[in-house]
Amino acid sequence: MVYQFIKGIQWKVLTPTCIVCGELGNKTLDLCLSCRQALVFNARFCKRCALPLEVEAAELCGSCLRRPPRFIASYCAFEYGYPIAQLVRTLKYGHSLSHAQVLGTLLSDYLLQHHQNEWPKYILPVPLSIERYRQRGFNQAIELGRVLESKLSVPMNTNLIERVRHTVEQAGLSRRERHKNLRNAFIVIDQPVPEHIAIVDDVVTTGSTVNEIARTLIRAGVKKIEVWAIARAPLR
């Protein structure tokens, strides 16, 4: 509430500035028109994992046809490229928490337009290990979740699941290495669990993290799991 009050005063007193290029922003978002138009929406994608598809008529990617993930749907608003990649990296590694407000607003706008199911009971941000939280000082998924909670009126739950094993950074690992790296890294610490949950993260690459969380949740009794993320990175 305090943050929203201060932000409201800023809109009235200060001119919004684009957080990408520094040019004049607009009344509702710290992005200029040019940078907003540079955003590449994930328009043609697998309905299960949100991987961008080349074939327009396809509903699912080959990977989801061969081995469906544990979650039922994914909503990843953008393809992972400029300027989204820059905003995400600066949020995570540059401690620019103001970027979470912009990214969270963009994702909430996307969900309000494209979400096809009933809203989940909870938003569940991907948890960090204690070691990584100490290094970074915050969890970017929680910061995004705060915005989504406010915009969508869906409560965020940070007490349902915990990361009990520190893992190396997923970036640079192969799909098999990512899967092995995350095995049994999470546990459910709160019961009873709801039937419907949305896992929130910044970027989905192979989907290993969200799939392992979904596997853990299903074992605890969750029936429907969605994935919400700012962007879906293409597989290399």
Bridge partners of residue 188, in order along the sequence: 161
Bridge partners of residue 45, in order along the sequence: 52
Q: Which residue has 């590449």 as its token pair? A: 40
Q: Which range among 6-15, 18-27, 48-57 shows the weakest confidence by mean pLDDT?
A: 6-15
Candidates 48, 76, 79; CA nearest to 62 is 48
**Contact between residue 197 and residue 224 where contact means Cβ atoms under 8 Å apart:** yes
Residue 92: phi, psi to the nearest 5? Answer: -75, -45
201: helix, coil or strand?
A: strand
Q: What is the mean pLDDT of residues 196-219?
A: 95
Interval 22-32: pLDDT, tens = 888 777 789 99
Domains in the chain: boundaries? 70-232
Q: Is the pTM of this model over 0.85?
A: yes
* Distance, CA of 40 to CA of 110 (rounded, Å): 12
23: helix, coil or strand?
A: coil
Residue 187: pLDDT band with limits 50, 70, 90: very high
Share of the chain above pLDDT 70, in %: 86
On the question of pLDDT at 169 being above 80, the answer is no
Architecture of domain 70-232: 3-Layer(aba) Sandwich (3.40)
On the question of pLDDT at 92 being above 80, the answer is yes
